[in-house]
Amino acid sequence: MSETKGSITHIGISVTDLDTSLRWYGEHFGFAETRRFEKPEFEIKGAVISDGKVSIEVLMPSVPWKRKVVPASLAEALRQCGTNHLALEVNDVTVCYERLRSAGAPLITEIIGGRFFFCMDPDGTLLEIKQA
pLDDT digits (tens, 9 = 90+) for 14-48: 999 999 999 999 999 999 999 999 999 999 999 99
Domain encompassing residue 90: 67-132
One domain, residues 57 and 91: no
Average pLDDT over residues 45-57: 94
Contacts of 31 (CB under 8 A, 6+ apart): 22, 25, 49, 50, 51, 56
Task: Tell me, yes or no, whether 3 lies in a domain.
Answer: no
One domain, residues 43 and 90: no
Task: Tell me, yes or no, whether 113 lies in a domain.
Answer: yes
Contacts of 99 (CB under 8 A, 6+ apart): 28
Task: Tell me, yes or no, whether 47 lies in a domain.
Answer: yes
Question: Do 110 and 69 contact (CB within 8 A), yes or no?
Answer: no
Task: Tell me, yes or no, whether 2 lies in a domain.
Answer: no
Let me know if 106 is exposed, middle or buried by CB neighbors in 10 A (0-12, 13-18, 19+). middle
Task: Tell me, yes or no, whether 31 lies in a domain.
Answer: yes
Task: Tell me, yes or no, whether 81 lies in a domain.
Answer: yes
- Predicted TM-score (pTM) of this structure: 0.85
Q: How many domains does the chain have?
A: 2
